[in-house]
Amino acid sequence: MASETSSRSMEEEFDGDSLFQEPILKKRKKKRNVDELKYLRKTMVELREKLVKLETKAASATEDKSDWEAVARRQAMERHQAQQENARLKQELEQQIQLANALEILLTQQTQTASAIEDLSCEQLPINVIKRAAKMHKLVDNEFHRLETVFVQHGILGRNDSSYANITVAEKAKSIIQLTLTRVAAVPSILSLLADRFWNIFTNDIVTPDLSLKVLEIVDTNTIYYQFEVHNHDCLPLLRCNYVIKRYIQPHATSFVIRTMGHDPLHPISDSSWSSEDTIWIQLRQSSTGHVLVKMVLLLQVPYCDAIDPLVDLMLQCSIDSTQSYTMSELLLDSFSRTNAMMEILLGYNQTDA
């Protein structure tokens, strides 16, 4: 009888705590949403200010003139290089503004939060070496067969622009935020050289303050399994995913498919960082103008989690002076910025030791 009374008392105490925590969690979620909107609006103002400065700088650069032919040629070359650099930076700023605006619209539509990373439909990799490799090949080969269809869906199959980029954000089932980046670039290079550059970067480890790439397994001569990390401002892993990249050498093009591999007992993902489910389709094709046409579609899916770890986050929120955790908007904007940085490296705009 005494044990029943004690058990009932414990249950009532637990229910009371649950009732007490529920309004706290709702209040915290509302505050997080408000803070995220403030962050987005402040970020858009800063990005637009940078864009205005960049456009002003580009306009003033065209005013310099010289009567000396040699000096004029040098100035013209420098001006052309500066204009190209400004165009790339301008494009990135415009995309960041576009992304921030799309996220703001999404947030005002009462986006639901995902309860766990498990909402992503990632499959587990086998431990057996043969089955493991077969699984990797199957997943990326399936995506390679969809490459042209994906390019058609995003309007870039027949596109030959020297520079094009577009970004969309949508909410999918189970509170999954889907970010799609479409990009076309004409790079002055030879197909074989640029394709080798792409591949060589993924066969070597890369570590920068913003991101890191670590080779986990060399599956075969055309397939590599690696881990990609996005770091926060303290150089700690914020977003961490395991990917397979596979190279497809064709008669007139070289294609790459990059895909997340989901849960891997041999190389597990830390619970303290976000994960996502991504697929990237890249095609390099030589053009008649002496450039290599690079086409890419990146599809990134991240669960809209209210916190990385609900218990830890709740404890942090109880302290007024605690360090703020990343919001989904900061995560996506930072991930987007670092993905662009990786693309700049691949295209040869930023040099690395790879």
Judge whether residue 219 has pLDDT over 80.
Answer: yes
End-of-domain residue from the set 110, 140, 165: 110
Answer yes or no: do 226 and 318 share one domain. Answer: yes
Q: 215 with 298, same domain?
A: yes
pLDDT at 79: 63
With a cut of 80, say whether residue 104 has pLDDT above it: no
Q: What's the domain range around 163?
A: 115-346
Say what the pTM is. 0.68
CB atoms within 10 A of CB 178: 15
165 and 49 share a domain? no
- CATH code of residue 281: 3.30.530
Q: Does residue 271 share a domain with residue 221?
A: yes
CA-CA distances (angstroms) from residue 187 to 94, 97, 144, 275, 348? 21, 25, 23, 32, 9
SS3 (DSSP) at 229:
strand
pLDDT in tens, 187-210: 888 999 999 998 998 888 888 777
Count of other CB atoms within 10 angstroms of residue 127: 10
Angle between helix axes 69-107 and 328-346 (nearest 10 degrees) is 150
Q: How many domains does the chain have?
A: 2
Q: Choose one of 75, 110, 145: the last residue of a domain.
A: 110
- Residues 251 and 248: their CA atoms lie apart, in Å, by 10
Q: Which of 176, 220, 226 is nearest to 201 (CA)?
A: 226
Kindly state whether residues 339 and 214 are assigned to the same domain: yes
**Do 105 and 163 lie in a common domain?**
no
Average pLDDT of the segment spanning 172-186: 79
Q: CA of 244: how far to CAs of 72, 80, 121, in Å? A: 49, 38, 17
Residue 324 structure tokens: 């703020």
- Domain end marker among 59, 87, 110: 110
| pLDDT per residue as tens digits for the range 241-279 | 889 999 999 999 999 999 988 788 898 876 555 567 789
Task: Report the pLDDT value the prediction gives residue 145, as an integer from 0 to 100.
Answer: 96
The mean predicted confidence, pLDDT, of the chain is 72
- The DSSP bridge partners found for residue 277 are 301
Asked if 61 and 100 count as a contact pair (C-beta separation under 8 A), the reply is: no
Give the pLDDT of residue 3: 47
> 38-92, pLDDT tens digit by residue?
766 777 777 777 767 766 665 555 444 445 555 566 666 666 566 666 666 666 6
Q: Are residues 286 and 187 in the same domain?
A: yes
128 falls in which pLDDT band (50, 70, 90)? very high
282-324 confidence digits (pLDDT tens): 999 998 888 999 999 988 887 665 444 443 343 333 333 333 4
Please calculate the CA angle 211-245-260 and round it to the nearest 5 degrees: 70
pLDDT tens digits, one per residue of 14-51: 444 444 445 554 555 555 566 766 766 777 777 777 76
Distance CA 269, CA 213 (A): 14
Higher pLDDT, 95 or 318: 95
Q: Are residues 204 and 77 part of one domain?
A: no
Q: What is the pLDDT of residue 131?
A: 94
What's residue 207's pLDDT?
82
> For residue 326, is pLDDT > 80?
no
Domain assignment present for residue 335? The answer is: yes
